[in-house]
């Protein structure tokens, strides 16, 4: 299955949820916001929504500063 993450094509080895995808990419789930195909996905949905072939995901890191 192919998906795009921040405009980079990734080949997933198997079906996985959005949360599993973040873990597979070694991204701490608490440190990002996730947009899937142009829509913000609430963190509560990450464990249940599965990636689909052709998905386009954008990950945004939280930045603190002042």
pLDDT given for residue 63 in this prediction:
74
The domain limits of the chain are: 2-61
Return the CATH architecture of domain 2-61. Answer: Roll (3.10)
Q: Quick one: pLDDT band at residue 31, thresholds 50, 70, 90?
A: confident
Q: Quick one: pLDDT band at residue 66, thresholds 50, 70, 90?
A: low
What is the DSSP track for 6-64? Answer: TTEEEE-SS--BHHHHHHHTT--GGGEEEEETTEE--GGGTTTPBP-TT-EEEEEE---
Q: Quick one: pLDDT band at residue 17, thresholds 50, 70, 90?
A: very high
What average pLDDT does this structure show over 15-28?
95
Model confidence pTM above 0.85: yes
Between residues 31 and 24, the one the model is more confident about: 24
Answer whether 1's CB lies under 8 Å from 54's CB: no
């Amino acid at each position: 299955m192919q998906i795009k993450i921040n405009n980079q094509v990734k080949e997933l080895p198997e079906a996985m949820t959005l949360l599993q995808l973040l873990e597979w990419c070694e991204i701490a789930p608490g440190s990002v916001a996730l947009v899937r195909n142009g829509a913000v996905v609430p963190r509560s949905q990450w464990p249940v929504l599965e990636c689909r072939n052709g998905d386009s995901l954008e990950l945004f890191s939280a930045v603190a500063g002042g």
